[in-house]
Structure 1
């Protein structure tokens, strides 16, 4: 399931930065003392205050020159970098109404939603065997010995699931092999305990209310 992201401020695109900024080469720490011993702050619950550009290297361990290059390389794409509890960088395009696909950032959303639902559920854990939640037909290529944690890590179809046997790994690019199957799992967790999920009956409603609306997504 793809979603469109509309620019509504720094928080709305914090998750996108995890993918966009490294691709642009802008998240590499500045060499030398600027990236060493950077103190982490507690951001608290108040409004974010952006770190001034001339303090980004010292307080965030980031190179503002590379970040300027990222802004230039991604002129129409908003992104935000939050690091060490600080709002370190924001790229604000002039166009505030365009929408665009967030592509595989949805995998981050899926993992976030799984954690949010598991926190409210008394039965859902990432250590649960997949077969506790999905039938053989629903699980498809997933190894019957796999846990939900294997699905989240996109390793549930490997022949050897041992943690010390990494072996080959392939990316579940479209989500059909593993990640999308978590939709059924999360729906069942919600439906098992409706009192724990007031106002929603499935993961789509839960996502819209508790994640997408908060991030300014539609």
Structure 2
């Protein structure tokens, strides 16, 4: 089975998380609700109907379709958006604000994954919201369920879903206060609302029951 730790913390905003190694992450198509798949993980980036409109690539291969194809996961459609990149050759993460996977900078294009979303900018509490708005974050001030990926200085990654209706600011603050014991470096918001879904042995969250196009899964290797 996949190697991970599940946890739940609530201080007004309830956070469910899966903590694992970046080397256990694989981006996959879903085509159904995350809880109805056979994978452990959370929902991924933004989509429209059956098209993936956030970057989602493993080793330069988009999760759905072909390189350069619309809806394949090769593009952050309409916006250059915060994209979480794990560069396995370098052993480091980054958030790169790019419109297309071809602009992602890594050492070895056969050894990385990249998940598009919206920059959380965890080290800058004054400009994060402006940057998120520039990246087209939907419903930033509305109260809804939300999903995020964050990492820390120890290179752990957390896949986080809240089932509390909250603003982006409340979600971000809860993560900063309750995840990583002060070691968090940065992260991204993923799709939220009814798309916020999580599946592992200990917990399932199905959002509003809808299907999602793509998910962040934990491999069983």
Instruction: Please indicate, yes or no, whether the TM-score normalized by the shorter chain is above 0.5.
Output: no
State the structure with more CA Rg: 1
Higher relative contact order (CA 8 A, sep 6+): 2
Q: Which has the higher strand share?
A: 2
With the length of structure 2 as denominator, give the TM-score of the two structures. Answer: 0.25
